[in-house]
Structure 1
């Protein structure tokens, strides 16, 4: 009972107060517009208009009759000024928008009226100065009338605007009359005065035809043919002759015909008709304004009476129903609170993957036959629907993730088969152009394998590429580089020789490949992407820096927040999100304990810092050091043997046939056997002895060293020779990858040219290390 009463009473009081305030405001506004301010402002307007014309006439040709008329008009203007001056305080109290400023501006202009009159009488003021003063003062007075026309009621505002337009039309006629009154005496006008007259003519015609005549209604329609009257036509004819005279005149003077009497008669007649129309419109606006105010007062009384009766009815009804409904409402409230507490718990259990029985979680409310019973039944349906919907959505989400993983796994098998097929084709073909295309397909397939792993990760799974032994961080970075489209732009620099734990190799390659892909994608094609790795106090830090456009600070903050706490991804709702790679990075980083942060780069791009924790950094395996030392020693011995060969022997490189052509490559091998001079020290070969490929070597020649497949790879990344010995690694993830035949042929040709020209075949770098071989797909 109390709540409805307390609620309804302020609403009723507020509505009544608003209506009463609006009625008072509109009534006060109508008083200002029609009586208090409107009449004095209109009287001042007509007085100043007449004084402007008579002043121009006196300045054109002094005469006693004109001076007497001007003196009488000045007296009438003084009365109008005396009635207008007290409006300053009234306008300020009324607080009408723009009214106080308009009244103050007009009063300031009236303060210079006596000074202007004395200047005219003494001949100090020119005709243009007098015209500008009176016209400016009339514009200020019209600003007062315009402010009075601004009403809150739409119809009243529209009708009052037409009233203001009539005042402006009369002012335009008065301006033209004042200019011509000064010119009839000498029958000439200056170009400036002619411009003022034509501007007034144009403004008058526009206001009359575009804004006044279309709005006439009721008794006002009889003035619709005012423009067809004899006075209006006479005035228009005089204006036409004025235009013709201006077109035929040269210089600064426009000569006038003797049309002063015709103009005076037509102008006074038109002005009088316009004032009649203005008075009629004024009464029309007054009727509308007071009628709307009376209507608001009637609505105020009606709403007050009805509101008080409704308040009494609400109090009585509330008092009778409170006792009956209180108990049952409290019961429903308890049931609703129980639903509010149990439903979040059910949703949380579903998110954790637990099975939920909807029937067991919902306790039904016993329905009754009245409205509260229907409300209880609706609450039962809402409770059951909410639980069932949550269960179905959780099951659908888990089912979609499982389906996504199955599809991705099957696609990965197909990708593995495709990689095997590409491997066979690479081994079978030797044409450099064909091999180049096969290697490009191999690279695209490796990238496709990573994209399929993205689907597995987004579906809640983990990458299947696994290693049984630790791997050098440099090899991990190179493997990630090989899965990037524009890998040639990436430069890798590793400080020291850190090794990664075997469980982190596959996910870490995926994370680094995604970040390198972003760096190359969002930077210009020719700019480098620098990858640096170095041990730090809490592990190993990997920095990936590009020179792209970067991002805004708030965008960096949003991405870092996403990487630190990856949300539960709903793939269907994020299908258009271009940051799916960031979700993958966030998922894998969370599972490995990586810390990934994006910052602004000094080059203007983005710098990504990946902190590998100490738990993922392991010591070098015992078997890795001796094998690597043995390979390094073999390379040094090979280079020493080549450097020891005399320069004279380097120019006699010929095939076994002796026809001066280069030897052909044997199918299935990276480099065919070629022969060298038998006199080379460090290598003695008998005639006809076979090389490693089984081809006979001519007498006195020795074979050039051949590249061994996977020799540049770390032991942990090599594919075992026995197909059955693959460990936990899937069939599609690790395989033999041939070296690029085109790159090998290029190296072979370079060495051959060096031997022909007598250069040392084992040219070393300034630091003493042998010239590196071109990169192959095995390095990936």
Structure 2
């Protein structure tokens, strides 16, 4: 349909018109209004700004190098090497007192060298010309420092050789300091020249001091040493009078009288007596007091260093002031140019102000949603209730594109929060259902264990007992699997102990919950006891790892379990001989064990690593450190580190069943009345032995044969692992571990036959029936 202007389109889809002007896309409008007028003025402004900025950047970079980056390490290195040069000369001259000072000074110099060495890798485009070469020369000289020191200590280096080495390195360092004063600003260069002259004055005084240190002990100098001292004195005095003192100004002028001071006068008087001394052949007599010389030199050096610091501050101030002035000019020109540019784009801003505010408002709302949604999810994970209407703020829509965008943002915000709430409620509901089912199943498993115990005490048929024992073992494993469901559902195992348990018993308890328990070999070093709060979770963790080792290794291959105390607790190693895993799989498994994520059971139903999730959750709660590694056998080795906080001392009194407490006391009766031990509730067979020969099955009770051991339930467990009978009735749960889950039918039959015969013969030996209690009392025998 033609609208009369030559433009046609379907309603709502094609270009729409307002006031006879076709509406362009928002991005196109902003680009035309803002950039087209600005492009005519921006290049000129940018050129002037770039020139000023480059100059300011170069001056500032050079001042930073001179004052901090290079200047400070180079100055510290200079003074350290200067002092080490003098102390080395004293040591080579035979001064024993200087040895300790030299050792300490070497340590200080090494610190300065360590701070200077990284400067060789310095890459500053605006650095002073020649600075990199000067640093490299100094670094090459420092590379021979260790060798020179060894030569001095071993007596292989002469005094002159050591002097030449240190003087050469010091001159290289002075080259670095001199180069730092050559900046792009002329005034800084002029003021820095006096600073370099001061460094040379200190160096010449150090040269003189190092040469004189050779002769104070003997009172003589060689002719060559005399020449070195004379040259140093002359050059130093020339620099001080002709270049340093005339350059002092401002707060530096008080140091112009440095040469009139007492220390300087003492030093120059001794130098004058030395210079005027007449040579005697190849030697010159050194007249003067070494103590007075040392005192005056130290005082003069201290004054020179104070003047150096003051001059350094003044030069730095001049350089930074000029750099700031350049920066001020840069900012001023930039401000004026930007103001002009702002005038050019003022009309554009008027057109785009409303659009910008609305776009920024929408962006702000989007950012708030981005920040608010994770907070809502975190609150839902903590179990808090979230009101969707309160969390979503509605934007007022307008009849244009931005209004449609705001409406879409409203719908997206509400949908995202509502979806998060529904997913969290569904996840929590599933977890509650999973825990409820698992808890109920655990109660049934506890009742099943109780029923199996009653059947084991009721039946004496070896084949029936063997089947019942197998069912008992399967039920214990089923209980562990149900606990896995509780843990995956966000709960914790319910098994609790009130006393510490021996580590060996904990390992045996974990072994008893594994299907192929016969393949597991346990080796424990030391006497370690586990705190009562950690027994249940630790048994669960070890059982899961043992089960994994047996499941992923070939049948009949052994699984070795070793435990031993280490410096930070107790380490348990579980090693199988399976196929192992790839290195990236080990890394992924260890990452999972170190940082267990919050598991969504519904999205990880097919994940084969659910056992690792259980181990990771329990380990994180106990503070265990579990790590998987490759085994030398090709399988996997798991290391479980039990921290010291979970390892306790052996309890003072550990209750042991009477029947097995003293198995080696053959002469002591087990019961005073002579009766066989009675079977009672809560007892199961602990040791089965048929030591009596079949030919003596019919022997009377008074023949002196000792009875077979009792069948005592939970006798193979430590006292801390035993579950009281009252608790069986209250919770219907039991944690029973036996040394040998499988029973020999022949052994069980022998136990039953011997027990019946002993009971038959016991009737005739009771007191009051013609028998003697003492003559038929059974004794406990070590079997």
In which range does the TM-score fall when normalised by the shorter chain?
0.3 to 0.5
Q: TM-score, normalised by structure 2?
A: 0.47
- Larger CA Rg, structure 1 vs 2: 1
Q: TM-score, normalised by structure 1?
A: 0.47
